[in-house]
Structure 1
């Protein structure tokens, strides 16, 4: 839920202060959260600098930051600015299907029946959001679709790239370095210190919320939860992200969503649930229940 609320906080910040850009906010978020996580790693003795002792692990953590975290955070904020937090979050939620497509194209892993059904449902949901049922026009800006699509790709790379590093170096160190390095590298597109941003206390509070409650705390809670629940269950619970983004946007920002947006978003969430649940096990349980 906090991940979804952070999108609403960012949308509020873009409305309140025209000088706060998605790039600037992403840089502040990544560098601040990355430093905090790395300091935590030092304090608890996880040896954050061990990751740079080998060339292969150094390159992978850098690629994780640039190819995984940059699109999943910067591109997401761009989609929020040009569209809305609910639409940006729903489009980003298509990331698991990009992972399935990757495995099909490059690993030659044939999609299961559940994945096939889920992809069809997700396509229908995306179609409804993008066109509102009209084939000759788009209901959302192509800019929103572009940035949202990149953020969905980022979800896939953000999931795949760090996996070999996590067992050896730990989630705190890997994510901390990924965030920090990505935030530093984004200065190529616009140096953070050259942006003339003056913040009110309210705006500074929103930034602090995004860094702490939209980045660090949910990451730590999610990583901790994986010690108690299965990754598939975690993926199902992640459906609260677009739901919370929608609810809080409607309540606090008066964002107007059409029936097509709501139905399309619901279909995408259902599709991801189908992808996450082992459909064959459920079917076998149902058959066993009927037999008993």
Structure 2
């Protein structure tokens, strides 16, 4: 791997994470400007549109995305990925953005890797290493600062924000773990495309998006396009492409750009006010996830040896 390829991979992963952060700010802008736009409606539009685009893209690339439906076990797994992985990571995140703000929602969602660590501890009996244990403590302190602002007897943010943010963090874990066996076989475009489409269509059961009467301005339509194309399709492609140039551990470290971008753009364009406790807590969580990411490869190698 040349230095030029490594720099390209770092740039692609960084831009992808920044775009994911911006999509949260775009959603927050929509919720503020148009109270009739709900997280459910926006998630449906985002998932169905992005899913169709990715599947068409996969077909044009010659990967034949429909072949997954010929395997019963793989079909069931991709359905679980859509329902248990993508719905919480996207719908619950938008719910947290609506009732709170993009920076806090993104930071809480950023706790997802620690849920993965807990999963491996409970179900795979892979004990956390020193860096992971330190990271968990840092993340706990950071979350505590954000939630209480130093006053342990009261909450500084709404319990509803914590609820939806917590579910989105769990979604990060399920979104990462469920599709892993399918990716080498079918490719990321096919798996993510079907997962998004299945998730989006299933949400129509709650309330079909065409029954919602909305009057959208050109700016609001533009923001929706930003969320679908620049906040979903483009960063997915960039991040997936970056993995051919850099290690997954390096890419996961660059995930820190997502909460940073959400914070910077929210403060700059939406005039979101963050306290010192929010900033220090967010920084602790970001550093904690970095500490965890440095040990992900060792943890996965250890798990692989156990299953051989």
TM-score, normalised by the number of residues in structure 1: 0.95
Q: Does 1:90 align with 2:76?
A: no
State the distance in 1 between where 2:263 and 2:218 align.
26
Partner-residue secondary structure (3-state), 1:189: coil
- The C-alpha deviation readout for 1:138-185, integer Å capped at 9, x for no partner, is 000000000000000000000000000000100000000000010000
State the distance in 1 between where 2:126 and 2:118 align.
9
State the distance in 2 between where 1:123 and 1:42 align.
44
Within the candidate set 197, 217, 225, 1:208 is matched to 225
Match for residue 242 of structure 1?
Answer: 259
CA contact (8 A) 2:132 2:295 kept: no
Within the candidate set 27, 31, 46, 1:10 is matched to 27
CA contact (8 A) 2:26 2:227 kept: yes
Q: Does 1:221 align with 2:238?
A: yes
Q: Does 1:30 align with 2:31?
A: no
Match for residue 232 of structure 1?
Answer: 249
- CA positional deviation for 1:16: 1.0
- CA positional deviation for 1:278: 4.1
State the distance in 1 between where 2:290 and 2:153 align.
31
- CA positional deviation for 1:191: 1.1
Within the candidate set 175, 178, 187, 1:158 is matched to 175
- The C-alpha deviation readout for 1:44-81, integer Å capped at 9, x for no partner, is 11100011101100000000000000000000000000
State the distance in 2 between where 1:278 and 1:151 align.
23
- CA positional deviation for 1:42: 1.1
State the distance in 2 between where 1:197 and 1:101 align.
42
CA contact (8 A) 1:48 1:169 kept: yes
Q: Does 1:175 align with 2:192?
A: yes
Q: Does 1:57 align with 2:74?
A: yes
State the distance in 2 between where 1:200 and 1:276 align.
42
Gaps of at least 5 residues in structure 2 are 1-17, 299-308
How many correspondences in the alignment? 281
State the distance in 1 between where 2:129 and 2:145 align.
25
CA contact (8 A) 1:114 1:279 kept: no
Gaps of at least 5 residues in structure 1 are 282-292
- CA positional deviation for 1:189: 1.3
- The C-alpha deviation readout for 1:169-226, integer Å capped at 9, x for no partner, is 0000000000001000001111111111111111000000000000000000000000
Match for residue 187 of structure 1?
Answer: 204
State the distance in 1 between where 2:215 and 2:48 align.
19
